[in-house]
Amino acid sequence: MDLLKQAREKLIHLLPQQAIREASIQISARGLTPEEAIGQPGRTDYPIMNGKEVMIEADCAGALGQAFTDAPAAYKGSLAEVLEMPLEKVGDRALFVATLNAVLRKQQLAEKTVHCKNNEPEQCSQSLMCWLKDKLDADSKIGLIGLQPAMLEGLSKTFGPANILASDLNPNTIGKDKWGVTIWDGHHANDQLIDAADFILVTGSAIVNGSFNGLHRLLLEKNKAFAAFGNTISGVASLLSIPHVCFYGR
């Protein structure tokens, strides 16, 4: 089953039906400007800085949840209405993920539901390198599915470009050399990347476009160590016990 639909079922069972029905639980969502979403990070190669993705933010009684998407939509309505969405369209999936993050944050069932800002993405990369060095041997092969520039730069400098495999869906980055690492085509090469890597980092925003489902299945089938990263997947990871790293999310 689709992981988002699994998460929805768990959320419905977790929340009292009265809480779902109450008119006072209203969800509003809107797209954020790059500065609202990530502040001024000091580098301009993050996807959100060049218009490839937008962060939407949902508000549940003052608790905030966010999700990266390339299909943003504004929304205002009830939690019950969001829970009834079919989750087939990317825009609906993004809205659901942001809402899930906000609701779980309100219920104190998830953390890191809001993106870090300013210098924190760089600090996150540094913390991730320390975390990985504690977990892995120095010659481990590490896969990065979904280009996060600060992470890829840190991985290349820390473990050496020969030990790093990376893929992305953006046609403007596929085939390019980044810090000595050639970016593979994420539409076709992720199976090969997962086979070759000892540990895989997967962008949590893949939960919105649906590609995380197949990646998650492959990772489990191949018994690969992995972690999803970023704030978008915080709620789903919390509900479904998916390994997750997000050091500076709020």
40 burial (CB, 10 Å; 0-12 / 13-18 / 19+) is: exposed
80 burial (CB, 10 Å; 0-12 / 13-18 / 19+) is: middle
* Residue 34 Cα distances to 48, 103, 108, 135, 207, angstroms: 6, 23, 27, 33, 21
User: What is the chain's mean pLDDT, rounded?
Assistant: 87
Distance in angstroms (rounded) separating the CA atoms of residues 121 and 139: 25
Q: Summarize pLDDT for 91-120 with one digit per residue, the tens.
A: 899 999 999 999 999 889 999 999 887 777
Distance in angstroms (rounded) separating the CA atoms of residues 1 and 236: 14
CATH topology of domain 120-245: Rossmann fold (3.40.50)
Among 11-25, 27-41, 145-159, the least confident range: 27-41
Q: Summarize pLDDT for 187-210 with one digit per residue, the tens.
A: 999 999 999 999 999 999 999 999
Q: Summarize pLDDT for 133-150 with one digit per residue, the tens.
A: 999 998 899 999 999 888
Q: What is the pLDDT of residue 49?
A: 40
Q: Residue for token digits 């870090």?
A: 116
Strands (E), the chain: 26-32, 54-60, 63-69, 75-78, 142-145, 164-168, 177-178, 181-185, 199-203, 225-229, 244-245
Task: Provide the whole-model pTM.
Answer: 0.89
Radius of gyration, CA atoms only, the chain: 18
The distance of Cα 65 from the centroid of its chain, to the nearest Å, equals: 12
Q: What is the pLDDT of residue 117?
A: 77
Mean pLDDT, residues 223-244: 96
Q: Summarize pLDDT for 44-89 with one digit per residue, the tens.
A: 554 544 546 788 888 888 889 999 887 777 888 888 888 999 999 9
Whether the predicted pLDDT of 152 surpasses 70: yes
Whether the predicted pLDDT of 25 surpasses 80: no
Neighbours of 135 (CB within 10 A): 11
Q: What percent of the chain has pLDDT over 90?
A: 60
> Strands 164-168 and 181-185: what pairing?
parallel
Q: Residue for token digits 């050496």?
A: 160
Q: What is the pLDDT of residue 23?
A: 40
CATH 3.40.50.11590-classified regions of the chain: 120-245
Facing residues of 144 across strands? Answer: 166, 201
